[in-house]
Structure 1
Amino acid sequence: MPTTRTAALLILLASAAVLGLAPILVRLADTGPAAAGFWRFAFALPWLWLLVSRPGQAVGEGGPGRPSGLMALAALFFVLDLSFWHYSIAFTSVANATTLTNLTPVVVTAAAWLMFRERPRALFLAALALALFGAWTMSAGADGRQGANPRLGDAFAAVTALWYAGYFLTVKVLRGRVSAGRIMLWSTALGAPMLLAVSVALGEPLAPASLAGWLACAGLGLVHVAGQGGVAWALGRLPAALTAVTVLIQPVVAAMLGWWLFAETMTAAQLGGAAALLAGVVLAQWSAGRVGSGGPGGPTTAA
């Protein structure tokens, strides 16, 4: 039987891989970038409601409960995250958009050190540096023919990293008090009207124009529940910095799918960057395992 920590790492890895599908589905959604985020939330809500309403849960965890101010803050961060990220996907390659967005570990590691006393050890920092070098190489190694406006798209993706870090850290705080299901339900429910307002304000086409577009939007809802929900669950059992670094496998999955489905080129530099990034993720997890349950920065938050 795997330990609780091992199970959490396996679920986190699977969730990050699932999230690699998100930029592909955004491209296929056949609607505006912010509108794709709205449909992601809208299709996820019924699944999340069923998740938190299922019988047999622990005392105090049954039912949806009520939203809190921190849940509203998580919703705001995630709305900003999706809005900027989906526009970056429209302007640059899937690989660049996803890689630059996932520079989040730099912010999360520093903030976790200050907020949660998760002090990073030297080996973990080396692993983070290797993973970030791989991410930078994947972005810098692009051949320049990957999107309508790569510089603007890359800038949007880099800003997204800040919003995602804010969401990450807010969820980390909430996971010490509330179940992952409740956090996902209310951050999604509160975020959906915000994304709808952004889409309308920007004059985007709201409804997908094809059946394939609707199926892509429905797929985004499932990715949101399984991918982002798995990350939120793992944040209750693993240090924030380790979780943020592990999620860096998402751009590798997205880049490979972008190459396969959209014929987006993968240069030798990008392939080398992907290898370095994955090596950094493996080293980060190994360094965390060496020091026991404290991971890269001391004790984890209880589930």
Structure 2
Amino acid sequence: MTGLLIGAIIISFSSVMVRLANVPPDVAGFYRLFVGGLGMGLFLWRMGKLKHFTLHIWAWALLSALFFVGDFFYWHRAIGLVGPGMATMLANFQVIVLAVVSVLILRERPTAAFMLAIPMALAGLYLMVGVSWADFTPDYRVGVVYGLLTALFYALYLLSLKFSLSKAGADPLAMACAVALLTGVLLGGLSLGQGESFAIPDVRSLLALATLALICHAVGWFLITRSVQMVRTSLVGLILLLQPTLSFVWDILFFDKPVNGLEIAGVILALVGIYLGSLKGKRGK
């Protein structure tokens, strides 16, 4: 459990590092995923698991990487438009998307937690961004939409990753590493296609990108992936809520994000709804 807790705290700084990096969104994604993937590969090498990287694994990893690109494409843009805290909160609505998919498509029996999760999360979303929608700038509204698109692509990524792992029979860490490397390459291609520069402007940017790739991604997700199977599902969902919660706190502390009572109430409602939605229901017969 300690590894999961530390991992969740570490990745809560991801959006902060993206903001501090001061490079185009897809360039930040390239450095995070590709360099972070190399860092994860180093862990796997030390564990003697490089033999898991077969052509079969790379082929299935590509499926997940396509959705992961969409996740980072929209999330990094949302960070620039609505701030690290709100962007991360909106991205974590992926739990609600997964809960809906599990009931409507996978035919899992809805639980009392699920029935509470949806209205609570939606009420929280309304308090966070719905009440003041008319007062938001056009850019902020676009950022909210990008944040919700992040949640959609994040959910599709998780579903495809679960499917790919079941088909490929791969080690989860090896699959996560392969997906990161492929996603980084694809984001790098997007950056080249848009004529963006990969130049790192200053030392602060270099430190932010290094922290993002090697600490937040490589170390954070290594700890989470290795620990998540040893902790009961309800506790996993609760601990992982530290990521959006702390990201919101860091946004207030580091970037002077203005907040009001309604927004805080919305965040609390959304977090409770997200947690309830993360609890696995019983599969219908």
Question: Which whole-Å CA distance do the structure 2 matches of 1:156 and 1:194 have between them?
Answer: 19
The AA in structure 2 aligned to 1:271 is I
The answer to which of 230-239 and 173-182 deviates more is 230-239
Matched, 1:88 2:81: no
Of 105, 125, 145, the residue aligned with 2:115 is: 125
The AA in structure 1 aligned to 2:198 is L
The answer to which of 23-32 and 265-274 deviates more is 265-274
Residue identity (%):
26
Matched, 1:260 2:253: yes
Secondary structure of 2:53's counterpart equals coil
Matched, 1:100 2:93: no
Q: Which runs of 5+ in 2 are unaligned?
A: none
Say if 1:210 and 1:53 are closer, same or farther in 2 by CA, change over 3 A. Answer: same
Question: Which whole-Å CA distance do the structure 1 matches of 2:269 and 2:12 have between them?
Answer: 18
The AA in structure 2 aligned to 1:19 is I
Say if 1:54 and 1:47 are closer, same or farther in 2 by CA, change over 3 A. Answer: same
Relative to the length of structure 1, the TM-score reads 0.78
Q: How does 1:114-193 map to 2 (within 5 A)?
A: 118-140=108-130, 149-176=139-166, 177-193=169-185
Question: Which whole-Å CA distance do the structure 2 matches of 1:13 and 1:136 have between them?
Answer: 29
Q: Which runs of 5+ in 1 are unaligned?
A: 1-6, 289-294
Instruction: Give, in angstroms, the shift of residue 205 of structure 1.
Output: 3.1
Instruction: Give, in angstroms, the shift of residue 226 of structure 1.
Output: 3.4
Matched, 1:203 2:195: yes
User: What is aligned with 2:262?
Assistant: 269
Instruction: Give, in angstroms, the shift of residue 203 of structure 1.
Output: 2.8
RMSD of aligned C-alpha atoms?
3.4
Say if 1:120 and 1:243 are closer, same or farther in 2 by CA, change over 3 A. Answer: farther
Q: Deviations over 1:59-96 (max 9, x none)?
A: xx854334343310111111111111111111222232
Question: Which whole-Å CA distance do the structure 2 matches of 1:132 and 1:237 have between them?
Answer: 31
Question: Which whole-Å CA distance do the structure 1 matches of 2:129 and 2:224 have between them?
Answer: 24
Say how many residue pairs are matched: 280
Higher RCO (CA-CA < 8 Å; seq separation 6+)? 2
Instruction: Give, in angstroms, the shift of residue 116 of structure 1.
Output: 5.4
Question: Which whole-Å CA distance do the structure 2 matches of 1:148 and 1:27 have between them?
Answer: 20
Q: Deviations over 1:138-190 (max 9, x none)?
A: 33466999888201111211212111111111122234422221111111121
Q: How does 1:63-82 map to 2 (within 5 A)?
A: 63-66=52-55, 67-82=57-72
Secondary structure of 1:149's counterpart equals helix
User: What is aligned with 1:226?
Assistant: 219
The answer to which of 97-106 and 183-192 deviates more is 97-106
Secondary structure of 2:17's counterpart equals helix
The AA in structure 2 aligned to 1:97 is A
Relative to the length of structure 2, the TM-score reads 0.82
Secondary structure of 2:195's counterpart equals coil
Say if 1:17 and 1:24 are closer, same or farther in 2 by CA, change over 3 A. Answer: same
User: What is aligned with 1:251?
Assistant: 244
